[in-house]
A and B are shown apart, each in its own frame.
Chain A
Amino acid sequence: MLHLLDIEYNKVKKYKTFWIILIIYAALIPLIIWGISAFHFGQEGTPMYWKGSSLFKFPFVWNGVTWIASWFNLLLGILIVLIICNDFNYRTFKQNVIDGLSKQQVIASKFLFLLALAVAVNLYTFIISLLFGLLFSDGGSMFSDIYYLGIYFAQTIGYFTLAFLFSILLRKTALAIILFTLTIIINPILTGVISLTIGDNSIVQFLPINVISELTPFPLQWLTDMMSGSTDTEAQKQTMKAANMVISQPIRTVVATIYIAIFVFVSNLILKKRDL
């Protein structure tokens, strides 16, 4: 397994585009957090007063940072498309097989690399959350909402495997990037149209992109806390969380995992049936 990861790492080690996209991703997140934290609303001392930095207090920070980081999953998805389609464009998948890997190993190595990237991205998000949390908090329950990080991991894997599927399906960088981006852009429109047509908005919540993107929900609880200027009781918090989404977080995570399994399964099926 390490052998395959080592091969993949050598493919990107000197690939400038890969590192530039990663650096853009890594720089944007703290910049945006910084921007939001500097923002404030209303007059200090009044109930309507809130400041952006409170989004990054423990334990909200886990929700806040993963929510912001999730905006840039599109960027990372494109990165995945790029490194997979490159091997098709350069015919190097083929060459890797000629040189002595099996077709399954070639795909497994890409999948392992995708997992490793997701781990790295989550580690980075953890560090950023921790740093901003420490910067804006005065103690409190630091890790009580840390489960958002685990959910965020599922989300990155969700986007990555979708990008993986599209790349395997289309094999052309530009086409796969367009399909991946369009899927994400068209999703809200599709959601709206379907809910209006059938007069119900619960079923659309199960559309793959909705399931995956809502894994890191808008930090609504934080917003209402700030607006009301009060600290809610635990019961109110639970109501708030429930109102935040139609599907409960555990069920959503399970559904997302099923989608991930489908993406991987279909990718594998396509590769098995097709010549490289």
Chain B
Amino acid sequence: MSATILEINKLSKKYKDVLALDSLSLKVEKGTVFGLLGPNGSGKTTTLGILLGVLRQSTGSYSWFENGDATENRLRIGALLETPNFYPYLTAVRNLEIVAKIKKLNNPSERIDSVLKIVNLYQRKDSNFKTYSLGMKQRLAIAAAILNDPEVLVLDEPTNGLDPQGIAEIRELIITISKEGKTIIIASHILDEIEKVCTHVAILKFGNLVRQGTIEDIIGGDNFVIIAANDMALTKTAIDENPQMKISKTAETEITIKVSKEMTTEMINQYFFDKGIVLSKLKSHSESLETQFLEIIK
């Protein structure tokens, strides 16, 4: 049986004349990796800000661990919101010591060393925060978020400012942590990032929830394939004749088609060949969430 980690009920936030969040309701179950998607200004950070106690909602409510919005709930959460916030004149270790004190961790020095090793900052642990590069600051923020080995990890744009290697490392870290049965909530506009790690997604637009479901639900069990052939007109006719295929996007030299999950590229190739069309290009399209996403928020 899965327990509810977070329940959001008709949450709204109004800034002067802007409705940043409009009656959002969500449920996050234990053990899921939940992606909060949306373009800039869609209300992702506002939502997380409310959930983490730094913003007050205008109306609505939320409940962590079926325990309402109590302050102690946040001791069981590790979170990174917007920017890495630390004391610039203190070293990484001293900054984490303050976090440990707030989290009420006893004898944190071993744990501090180990999280600094996880995020590859151990060599620079005694440097002042102000001397860090943007990527290093972001790593320290992630170290702080996982310091108390939290039940829930809330990450707002976790790969901000990281180099490709750093992004891959953080992705690995997220997958490792989720395998431990922890719940992870990630807000991001980098769809690739969400698709690779998330099990569930919610898509926001102008403060409204437009879609919610498992990754499979959102992608709709469809694959996208890019094809090209000499006779494009004939190809299009062939696509229209097949109920398992649908034109998603037409470009001058290629067509993106949506195909059902059961259709392999081999089957697609065979189908066109049987119709007398020789494909000059056949490529499965990896950014299927992106395609869906752009479709949904249109």
Task: Name A residues whose Cβ lies closer than 8 Å to a Cβ of B.
Answer: 3, 6-7, 10-11, 13-16, 86, 90-92, 94-103, 105, 275-276
Minimum-distance CB pairs A-B, first 7: A95-B85, A91-B85, A102-B71, A100-B74, A99-B102, A100-B75, A98-B52
Contact status B54-A7, CB under 8 Å: no
Q: How far is the CA of A13 from the CA of B72 in the complex (A)?
A: 27
Determine if A10 and B52 form an interchain contact, defined as CB atoms under 8 angstroms apart: no
Residues on B with C-beta less than 8 A from A100 are 71-72, 74-75, 77, 102-104
Question: Inside 8 A of B101's CB, which chain A residues have their CB?
Answer: 3, 6-7, 10
Query: What are 22 A-B interface contacts by the 8 Å CB criterion?
Result: A3-B101, A10-B101, A14-B89, A14-B91, A15-B87, A15-B89, A16-B89, A90-B87, A90-B88, A94-B54, A96-B102, A97-B52, A98-B74, A98-B79, A99-B79, A99-B102, A100-B75, A100-B77, A100-B103, A100-B104, A101-B71, A275-B56
Contact A92 to B53, CB < 8 A, known contacts A10-B94, A99-B99: no
- 0 or 1 for each of B62-90: is its CB under 8 Å from A? (1 = yes): 00000000011011010101010111111
Q: Is B29 an interface residue (CB 8 A)?
A: no
Provide the bound-state CA to CA distance between A81 and B79, in Å. Answer: 28
Whether A90 contacts B86 by the Cβ 8 Å rule is: yes
Distance between Cα atoms of A102 and B52 in the complex (Å) = 10
Cβ-closest chain B residue relative to A102: B71
Q: Which of B52, B53, B87 contacts A11 (CB 8 A)?
A: B87
Whether A99 touches B87, Cβ cut-off 8 Å, given contacts A3-B101, A7-B102, A11-B98, is no
Q: A92 to nearest B CB, angstroms?
A: 5
Contacts A91-B85, A276-B54; A99 near B103 (Cβ below 8 A)? yes
Q: Considering only CB atoms and an 8 Å cut-off, how many residues of chain B contact the other chain?
A: 30
Point out the residues of chain A lying under 8 angstroms from B134, CB to CB.
none
Tell me whether B190 is interfacial, beta carbon within 8 Å: no
Closest CB in chain B relative to A13 CB, distance in Å: 8
Q: Which residues of B have CB within 8 Å of A94?
A: 54, 81, 85
Across-interface contacts of A98 in B (CB, < 8 A): 52-54, 74, 79, 81
In the complex the two chains form, what is the Cα distance from A103 to B88 in whole Å? Answer: 22
Residue of A nearest to B80 (CB): A98
Contact A95 B89 (CB under 8 A): no
**Distance (whole angstroms) from the CB of B65 to the closest CB of chain A:** 14
In the complex, whether B55 has a CB less than 8 A from a CB of chain A is: yes
Least distance between B204 CB and chain A CB atoms (Å): 20
B102→A103 contact, CB < 8 A: no
Q: How far is it, in angstroms, between the C-alpha of A252 and the C-alpha of B151 when the chains are bound?
A: 54
Closest to B55 in A: A275
Q: Is the CB of B85 within 8 A of A92?
A: yes
Least Cβ distance of B196 to chain A in Å? 26
**Interface contact A10-B97, CB-CB below 8 Å:** yes
Q: Give min CB distance, A106 to chain B, whole Å.
A: 10
CB distance from A11 to the nearest CB of B (A): 6
Which residues of A have CB within 8 Å of B83?
A: 91
Q: Which residue of A lies closest to B13 (CB)?
A: A275
Q: Which residues of A contact B90 (CB under 8 A)?
A: 11, 14-15
A92 nearest CB neighbor, chain B only: B85
A94 to B141, CA, bound (A): 13
Question: What is the chain A residue whose CB lies nearest that of B94?
Answer: A14
**8 Å CB interface, B12-65 against A:** 49, 52-56
**Quick one: given A10-B94, A14-B94, A94-B54, are A101 and B102 in contact (CB under 8 Å)?**
yes
List of B residues within 8 angstroms of A101 by Cβ: 71, 102
CA gap between A92 and B83 in the complex, in Å = 11
Question: In the complex, A7 Cα to B83 Cα: how many Å?
Answer: 21
Nearest to A96 among chain B residues (CB) is B102
Contacts A95-B86, A105-B71 known; A7 to B55 CB distance under 8 Å? no
A96 to B88 Cα, complex, angstroms: 15
Residues of A within 8 A of B103 (CB): 99-100
Q: Which residues of A contact B86 (CB under 8 A)?
A: 90, 92, 95
Residue of A nearest to B79 (CB): A98
Query: Contacts of A16 on B, CB cut-off 8 Å?
Result: 89
